[in-house]
A = this chain, B = another copy of it.
Amino acid sequence: MDAETEFVHQIALFAALLCACIVLGHLLENSRWINQSITALLIGLGTGCVILLTSGGKSSRILEFKQEFFFIYLLPPIIFNAGFQVKKKRFFQNFMTISSFGIIGTLISFAIISYGATLLFPILDIGYLEIKDYLEALGAIFSATDSVCTLQVLNQNETPLLYSLVFGEGVVNDATSVVLFNAITKFDVSDTNLNTALEFFGNFFSLFVLSTFLGVFVGLVCAFIIRKLYSGRHSTDGEVALMILMAYLSYITAEVFELSGILTVFFCGIVMSHYAWHNVTHSSQVTTNHAFATMSYIAEVFIFLYVGMDSLDVEKWRFVDNNPGKSVWASVILLVLIMIGRAAFILPLSFLSNLTRRSSNERIGMKQQFTVWWAGLMRGAVSIALAYKKFTGSGKTSQPVNALLITSTISVVLFSTVVFGLATKPIIRLLLPGSNTAESSSPRSVPLLGNGHDHDHDDDHDHDPESNTPSFKKLLKSPTHTIHHYWRNFDDAVMRPVFGGRGFVDPLT
């Protein structure tokens, strides 16, 4: 069998497994414990076992992907969809809390994990690690949370504050971890003084600002093109194709300039859903909502399936054969550090955030704080991808300490996703009995069955004088001022509702 035929066989098997994940995930959706990610992970583990047995212990994977595959193809649709579907009003209302959790929290968590590991790992005697390894590997890799699991049980309509906190923190945290990882990789640790530290923070924040700006800019250009070219003669597939390609372009351009593609494509999604979405046909609106969600859904299932299969890869486990105890202890230490690191910022930051909230309804209570803490304990695909980036390639896996860190990462991801993940539904049901999670209609489908986006937009245009629209939102709007002015004078006739009842809404007037 030549390589091409083998590749076709592998793809066929993988496609069949993806279908199985979707169908089984749907069947188990109303279960008390299991969710979509865990289903995919378990199917991946099961398939890995079968392949391991049939191949005589040679391999556990159907397909082998480089870690670039994850960053170039799978992550962008997930994060773009996150930005596109987020309830913007609530996101920006809680913007300060979300960004303090996401940025300051991640930095605190990073400091605690890397400091703790520097203290505790030498005791295990696992081999020599440089300070940079501690910072990069243990700090940055393990501060990347994976809140997909929790989001699958939280409901955007029933616990909106919690949803936007967990969701927003997840995205900002993803971005922060990647930015932090890249910043440390470039940073010369051996020669630390005030200047280099300042330079580091300067780098870090310029990456943040530039990435956000790039995303907003591409989103606005896309909205402008659609408004200018497609208003007269709409073409649904042209509009949808343009939105997809320009979103991807924003991500990949950010990567070219070594910015954070995640942050860029997230803000590109927000801007597109705010400006471009209103100027396309009703069909395009429905299509973009669901097509982006579907792409993100397939990418998520793909990742968990692959992580499940990949975690049994014998290559990686071979080097810990001699010392299984060390690998277990390293994973336990990391898990405990993750838990401490997370608690260490959620309590004080929530306290600070509560000081600014007047009504008691808006405050983040203890139960909410616990949920946010819990939601961030899961480690997922971002951690694994960063670990591969750091510890594999150019034969690095052959050093025992690197192999051990890879297997510890896999253990932490598997344990946190499966064990913490399984406990998430019951815990949330216990803590927030009103949220009615699993018994209500499928949580995933609620924001997607047409209402999520529409309602959100209505929200945004509901200029309630009492709502304290944050200044950041106005800031976001200001760069569009000239376009706005132009648009106002643009053929007004175009704005009449032409297709269906909803028709076109001008978000700027």
A interface with B by C-beta (< 8 Å): 4, 7-9, 11-12, 15-16, 18-19, 22-23, 25-27, 29-30, 68, 72, 225, 229-230, 233-238, 240-242, 244-246, 248-249, 252-253, 255-256, 281, 283-284, 286-287, 289-291, 293-294, 297-298, 301, 441-442, 444-445, 448-450, 499
Contacts and interface: CB of A to CB of B under 8 A. Distances in A.
A291 B445 contact: no
B290 A237 contact: yes
A22 B242 CA distance: 7
Interface centre among A19, A240, A255, A294 (most CB of B within 10 A): A294
A322 B348 CA distance: 78
B11 A252 contact: yes
A23 B256 contact: no
A249 B245 CA distance: 25
A236 B445 contact: yes
A293 B237 contact: yes
A9 to B, nearest CB: 6
A26 B249 contact: no
A43 to B, nearest CB: 14
A288 to B, nearest CB: 9
The copy count of this chain in the complex is 2
Contacts of A248: 15
Given A281-B449, A442-B235, A290 B287 contact: yes
Nearest to A4: B68
A294 B240 contact: yes
Nearest to A225: B23
Given A26-B229, A229-B23, A286-B287, A253 B12 contact: yes
A16 B249 contact: yes
A485 to B, nearest CB: 23
A294 B8 contact: no
Nearest to A73: B11
Given A448-B235, A449-B234, A294 B283 contact: no
B235 A26 contact: yes
Contacts of A297: 237-238, 241
Given A7-B72, A23-B225, A286-B286, 16 more contacts: A8-B72, A16-B249, A22-B242, A26-B235, A29-B235, A233-B441, A233-B442, A233-B445, A235-B444, A236-B449, A237-B290, A240-B291, A241-B297, A283-B450, A284-B290, A450-B499
Nearest to A66: B4
Contact of A294 (B26, B68, B291): B291
A254 to B, nearest CB: 9
Nearest to A441: B233
Contacts of A256: 8-9, 12
Max chain B Cβ within 10 angstroms of own Cβ: one of A30, A229, A233, A236: A236
Contacts of A450: 283, 499
Given A252-B8, A291-B291, A242 B19 contact: yes
A4 to B, nearest CB: 6
B241 A22 contact: yes
Given A252-B15, A256-B8, A449-B283, A294 B233 contact: no
Contacts of A286: 283, 286-287, 290
A298 to B, nearest CB: 5
A22 B239 CA distance: 9
The 9 closest A-B pairs by CB, nearest first: A287-B290, A235-B445, A291-B291, A237-B294, A12-B252, A237-B293, A240-B294, A15-B249, A286-B286
Contacts of A23: 225, 229, 242
